[in-house]
Amino acid sequence: MNRKILELAIPNIISNISIPLLGIVDMALMGHMESDDYIGAIALGSLIFNFIYWGLGFLRMGTSGFTAQARGRRDLPEMILVFSRAAFIALLMSMLLLLLQKPLEIMSFLVLKGESHVEQLAMDYFRIRIWAAPAVLGQFALLGFFLGMQNARLPMVVLVAANLINIACNYFFVIKLGMGASGVALGTVIAQYSGLLIAMYFFRRYFSRLFKYWSLKATTRWSELKNFLAVNKDIFIRTMCLVVVFSFFTARSASVDMASEGEETILAVNSLLMQFFMFFSFLIDGFAHASEALTGRFIGAGQRRSLEKSIRLLFRWGTGISIFFTAIYLAGGGVIFRLLTDNADVISNAKPFFFWVVMVPMVSYTAFLWDGIYIGATAGKQMRNAMLIATLLVFFPAYLLAGRLLGNHGLWLAFILFMIARGITMQLMSRRAVYSKVS
């Protein structure tokens, strides 16, 4: 079982590491420009797309869970139909985003307030990057299908290739052409369409045998699409809660309420510190993605003993990874800061908050692993409820109590408590949400 976990987890880890590495490269490129406005612009611009794409993340998560269960049952027609429904919805959603991009821009910057120069740079970033929407959503459906089919190597190749292209494009546009935040956005668009083409090639090469089971009528039948959306509704609500927490975190970092601590500096500081969290989260998500595939497969096949064993071993791996990252952050935090930016003010202002980042691995890994397990079990309702509890009963009350007294420390405290609450609530709900689905 350990071997199977690693066969799924390692490619996912490699895939996921490439994502925060891209963010780190972008942060480093912006951090070495003449103003920290560029760091804030990328943070605000990226926040909008995090909100959009995380909200539509059910296209990948739902596809993965349902495909894995269909594979466990050896239901070949359902495998291809799960994917085709996800791809159809991805196409509709991406067209809608492109048609409504101007209202979306206006509403986004009414909510996300920052210093005027930062906002203008972020708007330029948004207007270019929005054109990558069809490629991003198309990849959600394809990569979710690959993972559900127990193949983590194909997503690895797609994501690593796309992110390497992105890094190369960003370097060229930012350093060579001096395009700033707009160069980062253009590089992302080119890379996302490159990734989509690579994923489509793999789909045709390795899964063309399933085409004979495909039916346009079955794909577009409203009753089936409605059922697909209904099941994924709870995953959507869960994801939107997560987006709200991260959006609130960034918005408060840029708020005038932080003026006494230097609002522009706090936004840059928290954007910098969040890179540590994102790097860990994408790595531990490698094991979470493995848990999606294994949980769905064992539930679909009705193998309770294998399900229990896989979950037990996944948490052992998660504990070890968390200890490792805690040690790395304690020993090398200063070096990582200097790699990300040479802005002495940002580094100096970030150091008092660094101990929160050191806490992140040990307090958050259980939430990531349970997320993957719940997705594989298609336990959307329980995952939604756990997230609502952590968001509404823990994060916001904690911030209201601690935010005004502790400032940015209060914001980080609320975030840490939020991650702890997610893990605890899903652990308590796991018997009904996961284990009850297989005898």
Residue 32, pLDDT score? 59
pLDDT of 23 over the 70 cut: no
pLDDT at 263 over 50: no
- When pLDDT is averaged across residues 151-156 and rounded to a whole number, the result is 90
For residues 307 and 140, what is the distance between their CA atoms, to the nearest angstrom?
Answer: 26
pLDDT of 36 > 70? The answer is no
The 10s digit of each residue's pLDDT in 347-358 is 777 888 888 989
pLDDT at 6: 82
Residue 35 confidence class, pLDDT cut points 50, 70, 90:
low
Burial class (CB in 10 A: 0-12, 13-18, 19+), 255: middle
Is 271 or 248 the better-scoring residue by pLDDT? 248
Token pair 């756990």: residue: 386
Give the per-residue pLDDT at 430.
92
Q: Are the C-beta atoms of residues 79 and 70 closer than 8 Å to each other?
A: yes
What's the whole-number average pLDDT of the chain?
Answer: 85
Identify whether the C-beta of residue 410 lies closer than 8 Å to the C-beta of residue 367: no
Q: Is 230 helix (H, G, I), strand (E, B) or coil?
A: helix
Instruction: Write the CA distances from 421 to 57, 115, 424, integer angstroms.
Output: 22, 33, 5
**What does the pLDDT average to over 215-235?**
78
Q: What's the pLDDT score for residue 233?
A: 86
Q: How does pLDDT run across 411-430, given as a tens digit for each residue?
A: 999 999 999 999 999 999 99
**Distance (Å, whole) CA 104 – CA 25:** 27
Gap between the Cα atoms of 354 and 86, Å rounded: 40
Read off the pLDDT of each residue in 244-263 and give the average, rounded to a whole number: 67
Window from 127-136, 238-247, 248-257 with minimum mean pLDDT = 248-257
Instruction: Count CA within 13 A, CB hemisphere, residue 380.
Output: 20
130-134, 164-168, 232-236, 262-266: segment of lowest average pLDDT: 262-266
C-alpha span between 167 and 187 (Å, rounded): 8
Give me the helices (H) in 377-407, please.
380-388, 396-406
| Among candidate residues 308, 371, 303, the one with its CA nearest the CA of residue 72 | 303
- Residue 20 confidence (pLDDT) above 60: no
- With tokens 């909100």, the residue in question is 51
Closest by CA position to 268, among listed 353, 189, 335: 353
SS3 for 439? Answer: coil
Cα separation, 398 vs 396, whole angstroms = 5
Q: Which two tokens stand for residue 321?
A: 């990874």
* pLDDT single digits (tens) 380-391: 889 999 999 999
In the predicted structure, residue 261 carries a pLDDT above the cut 80: no
Share of residues in the chain with pLDDT > 70 (%): 91
Q: Mean pLDDT throughout 87-114?
A: 86
Residue whose pair of structure tokens reads 């929160």 in the numeric block: 356
- Is the predicted pLDDT of residue 260 greater than 50, yes or no? no
pLDDT in tens, 298-327: 998 888 989 999 999 999 999 999 999 999
In degrees to the nearest 10, what's the CA dihedral of 136, 371, 79, 229? -70
pLDDT digits (tens, 9 = 90+) for 113-126: 666 677 777 888 88
